[in-house]
Structure 1
Amino acid sequence: MTIHRRRRLVAAVLALVTAGALTTACSSDSSSEETSEAATGTVEFWGWVPGLEDLVAKWNGKNNGIKVNFHRMTGDDGEKVEAAVDAGAGPDLVQLSTHDLPDYVIAGRVKPITKYVQDIKDNNTASSWASVTFGDEVYGVPQGIGPAGLMYRTDLLAKYKIAVPKTWDEYLAAARAIHKADPKVYLANLSPTEIGQWMQEVQQAEGSWYGTKGDAWTVGVNDAASKKVAARWQTLLDEKLVTTQKMWTPEYWASVNAGKIATISYAAWFPSQVVENAGKTSGKWKIAPLPTNAGSNNSGDSGGAAVVALKGSKNVSIAAKFASWLNDSDETQETLISVGGLFPSTKNGLASPALMKPQPFFGNQVINEVFADAAARTPATWKEGPNYGTAQTAVTDEFSKVVTGNQTFLQALDKAQAATIDDLKSRGLSVAQ
């Protein structure tokens, strides 16, 4: 990207945060790049939502001339995608956190798909569509949102006579009680690398990593809301009331299956992961609202995702056609909800009977009633920024030092704050102190 074009894109992202809806135009090479695209071809798609293999097979079975090859993302595949794109390779489509999209736009890693997706705009919530829109261009198709809840083991709480915590104060008391009753059982696992669990609590406390002041960015990685969450996490860690395994590892799921972890606080898409990885615990779980802070009824959200077309795609039109069908078609909503565990950002998804079905794994509870309520109680205070990836890495790197006892969460936040500001300045962006 030229410096001039990069600055225009940066201005567009800044306008998104400031105004919520953009009027500043981003430059686009789409007219010259896509005029010769064919109506048929092959699309390489990387994603992580359960059930995508079945939906890709359904699409390929339609014999519409567009074949999709799917790769299930695991481990560090997200980093591999970024490196591949920067090297001029990578898949056509990838599932991406909307937190990362501003950074991808500024770095030129994604292509605009505006003219191919206008027919699905009205099927998406305004907030989810805004999360993929920069200037006059759309860079992805929304794929779910992440309102939070508290998954808990009914058998374990009953065994130790512990009530489901409604507030974070009650949560701390429950953590002490359960570990005192059985030193081998913990109320929760505190994963230093799972940023979504941290962010949902920061958003609940009305914090944000980014904001604007005049023409400059503000950075709030160590803002008052984050410090409030840090104090809670520090207490849990200092009193050895939580395990600190990295989430998604075999060791983590072994602890869940063994009944060593009594609760998991996470987003609406996570219950499907419990079903997939802890099948033997079926019938022992229910979901409650995320515990609240004193004097507040706020819930939290860990962010949504989108399917984006990467800059290496040779045929963006067919990639966008598949992405639109995958996320907005009536025939995909049930699978995305029931198998994928997505909480939909689409209007037909929110209206789908599949969203409010009783879930046998969770004792026939209609779990999405909890998440729908959480979505309605999540404050609109979080703002996306251009170097979320850098901020996330800084936070998780420093948190990993906290769980080994080398520093506190507050020290970690201060270091991550400084690293985020330094990175923004290195990109030529103004930062208000």
Structure 2
Amino acid sequence: MARKLKSRLTTALALATGPVLFLAACGGGDDDSGAAANEGPVTIEFWGWVPGLEEAVAQWNEENPDVQVEFFRMTGDDGDKIPAAIDAGTAPDVVQMSVHSIPGHIVNNRLTELTDIAGDWEDRFTPSSWGSVVFDGALYAIPQDSGPTGLMYRTDIFAQHGVEVPTTWTEFVEAGRALKAADPALTIAQFSPNETGFWIQSVWQNGGSWNGIDGDAWTVNVADEHSLEVAEVWQTLLDEELVTTVEMWTPEYWAAINAGTIATVNYAAWFPVLLEESAGATAGNWAVAPSPTFDGEESAGDTGGSVNVIPAGTEHVEQAAAFVEWLNTSDEGLEHLINGGIFPSAVAGLEHEALMVEEPFFGGQVINEVFADAALQVPATWVDGPTFELTQNALKDEFAQVANGRKTFAQALADLESRTVADLTGMGLSVSE
């Protein structure tokens, strides 16, 4: 289903914007990389942000004298410089970027198509991560990391009050009621209007998506039944004051976590390290369980992750792809990535010994067993649209009004849908009613 949606996405882009300048395996067979390799070592430039990439590049360079990699660590707004650099022909050969940004780059002809080089790598990656990088049957990026979800919960709080760890969202609401009845200061979770990942992961888990394609037009799905089912759960939690409203990442948020007034955090695989860093005094009181499910279905959410792309105009496509393959699928490359703190998209990474380690902060639990299982249960339904950033920012605005009691979740989603449709039509794109 994911590939079919991606195919229709590309078709709609072409019809809405005129001839789309997609590259047909750009540089895959017509460049002079082979000749250049015969003349001497090839040097490619790589921009990324994963901690420890310097060590990965050093190992590659030692083992591959004919293809040397120069690494630049991205910080701040470095990612914002990439589009202009590609357009000017000065971009690096390999770039790490958010998976959500891919559609906009494809439309603007900024990415090298990798189908001929890496199209047969599909089985090496989780279905949901691979589905996010294939458009119209063509491959434009290699998945690097993802954010499958798990329920981080306070074992001491649940044990003290005799409350079972919830396995469904219905049970989650009931557990919130039981905790509040036992201690009015307790909330089972928090509602953070400024952190859209919580919403994305739940809609994704429920088989939803913000966008899709209907024939020659975009569809906007931010207020469809998948989202409204999520909204119903959270409206109940909010109305009954079973969650506390606090902006994520603020001192107030971490104070509540440290004080033990928030009993669970259902979030992505990259969050535990941040939890440990910011709530070290709570060590030993946490465990990770599978995320609660909708109607007991075996599914998990995801916040999305990053990918590696080869910008259009790169002279040494095959060499760049070889490095990307090694980094994201080899045992050595995956070890560097995992030690750098990311959760890999490669299936081999889900069983890597560097990932499957006991975590003292979580009472010695191998928490990534939970996240690895989740990674294989994420529905391959999510479709990114060309207005992802606009929709994300609008969601924050709408949910701020939910937090203030000015709107319900359902009203906020209806207004968000209208705003998203307006953004798409404002770009000259067709939108299906």
Q: Normalising by structure 2, what TM-score?
A: 0.80
Question: Given the superposition, is the C-alpha separation of residues 142 and 36 from structure 1 closer, same or farther in structure 2, using an over 3 Å criterion?
Answer: same
Question: Conserved in 1, the CA contact under 8 Å of 2:22 and 2:107?
Answer: no
**Partner of residue 46, structure 1:** 48
Distance 1:180 1:61 in 2: 61
Flag structure 2 segments of 5+ consecutive residues without an equivalent.
1-5, 14-19
Question: Conserved in 2, the CA contact under 8 Å of 1:395 and 1:416?
Answer: yes
**Partner of residue 398, structure 2:** 398
Q: Name the SS for the 1:306 alignment partner.
A: strand
**Partner of residue 259, structure 1:** 260
Deviation (angstroms), 1:115: 5.9
Deviation (angstroms), 1:183: 4.6
Question: Given the superposition, is the C-alpha separation of residues 96 and 276 from structure 1 closer, same or farther in structure 2, using an over 3 Å criterion?
Answer: farther
1:221 aligns with 2:217: no
Q: Name the SS for the 1:150 alignment partner.
A: strand
**Partner of residue 196, structure 1:** 197
Deviation (angstroms), 1:31: 4.1
Distance 1:416 1:34 in 2: 45
Identity in percent: 46
For 2:432, the aligned partner's letter is: A
Question: Conserved in 2, the CA contact under 8 Å of 1:94 and 1:309?
Answer: yes
Question: Given the superposition, is the C-alpha separation of residues 14 and 116 from structure 1 closer, same or farther in structure 2, using an over 3 Å criterion?
Answer: closer
1:119-268 alignment runs, 5 A limit:
123-125=124-126, 127-135=128-136, 137-268=138-269
Question: Given the superposition, is the C-alpha separation of residues 220 and 117 from structure 1 closer, same or farther in structure 2, using an over 3 Å criterion?
Answer: same
Question: Conserved in 2, the CA contact under 8 Å of 1:56 and 1:70?
Answer: no
Question: Given the superposition, is the C-alpha separation of residues 144 and 176 from structure 1 closer, same or farther in structure 2, using an over 3 Å criterion?
Answer: same
Question: Conserved in 1, the CA contact under 8 Å of 2:91 and 2:311?
Answer: yes
More moved, 408-417 vs 419-428: 419-428
Deviation (angstroms), 1:402: 2.0
Q: CA RMSD in A?
A: 3.7
Question: Conserved in 2, the CA contact under 8 Å of 1:110 and 1:311?
Answer: yes
Which deviations, in whole Å up to 9, do the C-alpha atoms of 1:317-361 show, x marking residues without a partner?
A: 66545433321222122343355240x332432342334333332
Question: Given the superposition, is the C-alpha separation of residues 358 and 14 from structure 1 closer, same or farther in structure 2, using an over 3 Å criterion?
Answer: same
Flag structure 1 segments of 5+ consecutive residues without an equivalent.
1-9, 18-23
Distance 1:263 1:172 in 2: 12
Deviation (angstroms), 1:95: 3.2
Q: Name the SS for the 1:247 alignment partner.
A: coil
**Partner of residue 323, structure 1:** 324
Q: Name the SS for the 1:166 alignment partner.
A: coil
1:319-398 alignment runs, 5 A limit:
319-337=320-338, 339-342=340-343, 344-398=344-398
Deviation (angstroms), 1:36: 6.4
Question: Given the superposition, is the C-alpha separation of residues 28 and 317 from structure 1 closer, same or farther in structure 2, using an over 3 Å criterion?
Answer: same
Deviation (angstroms), 1:285: 1.2
Which deviations, in whole Å up to 9, do the C-alpha atoms of 1:205-257 show, x marking residues without a partner?
A: 23222233232222110001211211222232233332333333454334333
1:68 aligns with 2:71: yes
Q: Name the SS for the 2:74 alignment partner.
A: strand
Question: Conserved in 2, the CA contact under 8 Å of 1:103 and 1:389?
Answer: no
Q: Name the SS for the 1:201 alignment partner.
A: helix
Q: Name the SS for the 1:364 alignment partner.
A: coil
Question: Conserved in 2, the CA contact under 8 Å of 1:34 and 1:315?
Answer: no
For 1:105, the aligned partner's letter is: I
Distance 1:261 1:91 in 2: 44
**Partner of residue 27, structure 1:** 23
Q: Name the SS for the 1:354 alignment partner.
A: coil
**Partner of residue 3, structure 1:** none
Question: Given the superposition, is the C-alpha separation of residues 339 and 276 from structure 1 closer, same or farther in structure 2, using an over 3 Å criterion?
Answer: farther
